[in-house]
């Protein structure tokens, strides 16, 4: 693929987390770089995969600044600022919105929370409504939206708060195959709305992660000489899907290469 990697825009270095006597994460390292394609606006989508109970949610909370690690650093942006709550948007599975506020009201509140004055927040909300295809939905309440529209509002809300970084928790949970494909397309569209946009998707759905992501991180544990898991998860494998030719390709899920990577990742899971 004709692309290059530029500035680091998110990085975790030697991150460890212990809760009580339980080591959750140990010496974890990861990095996201800005992907540049000539003549294109290209954001980044990363899929975070791992077995249940491995620590995905805890890492999610650290990357968003909600929690702090016991050791190590997490920085975001070209200026490598230590992550703080509010710098990275978080989108839960149920796409929570204020039901008593219109779409416009929800987004204006997010803009004001980001520190914009009334005039600037109104202008930015109008721009986001257009960017997310919601121009005719501003006066509606969340209960009047379809599931896909509600999801778009929730994502727009978090981008308004955090500018370029969003974490999505299990966005494919409970969806049929058609809905999963629609959500994948929407995530890619949102990521590519701005060169610096970065979406990290935490999911159990391997096929959906490969369909939507540029990069896959597999979270797992080291093993001792007897094969027993050593407490504390880390990124055990990274799959660069750009280098494998599995990005920006129409009909990707129908290709032999797509199926091979999905099977490869599934085969690794028992050892994580």
Sheet holding 165-169, edge to edge: 81-82, 71-76, 4-19, 22-36, 229-240, 215-223, 44-49, 198-202, 165-169, 89-91
Instruction: In the chain, count H helices and then E strands.
Output: 7, 10
Residues across the chain = 272
Average pLDDT, the chain: 90
Return the H-helix or E-strand segment holding 98: none
Tokens in use for 83?
Answer: 């992550």
Q: Is there a contact between 142 and 132 (Cβ–Cβ < 8 Å)?
A: no
Q: What is the pTM of this model?
A: 0.86
Residue range 24-45, pLDDT digits in tens: 999 999 999 999 999 999 999 9
Out of 102-111, 177-186, 237-246, pick the least confident: 177-186
* pLDDT given at position 234: 95
The domains located in the chain, with CATH, are 4-97+165-271 (3.40.50.300)
| Average pLDDT rounded to a whole number, residues 157-184 | 82
């Amino acid at each position: 693929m004709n692309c290059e990697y530029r500035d680091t825009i998110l990085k975790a270095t030697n991150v460890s987390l212990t809760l009580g006597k339980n080591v959750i994460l140990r010496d974890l390292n990861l990095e996201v770089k800005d992907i540049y394609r000539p003549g294109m606006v290209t954001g980044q989508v990363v899929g975070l995969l791992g077995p249940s109970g491995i620590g995905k949610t805890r890492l999610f909370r650290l990357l968003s600044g909600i929690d702090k690690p016991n050791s190590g650093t997490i920085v975001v942006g070209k200026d490598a600022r230590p992550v703080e709550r509010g710098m990275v948007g978080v989108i839960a599975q149920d796409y929570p919105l204020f039901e008593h506020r219109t779409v416009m009201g929800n987004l204006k509140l997010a803009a004001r929370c980001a520190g914009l004055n009334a005039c600037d927040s109104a202008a930015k909300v109008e721009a986001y409504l257009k960017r997310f295809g919601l121009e005719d939905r501003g006066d509606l309440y969340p209960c009047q939206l379809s599931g896909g529209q509600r999801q778009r509002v929730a994502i727009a809300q978090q981008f308004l708060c955090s500018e370029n970084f969003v974490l999505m928790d299990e966005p494919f949970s409970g969806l049929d195959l058609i809905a999963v494909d629609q959500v994948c397309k929407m995530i890619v569209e949102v990521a590519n709305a701005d060169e610096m946009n970065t979406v990290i998707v935490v999911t159990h759905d391997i096929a959906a992660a490969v369909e939507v992501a540029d990069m896959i991180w597999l979270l797992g544990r080291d093993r001792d000489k007897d094969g027993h898991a050593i407490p504390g998860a880390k990124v055990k494998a990274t799959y660069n899907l750009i280098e494998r030719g599995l990005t920006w390709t129409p009909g990707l899920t129908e290709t032999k290469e797509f199926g091979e990577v999905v099977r490869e990742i599934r085969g690794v899971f028992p050892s994580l």
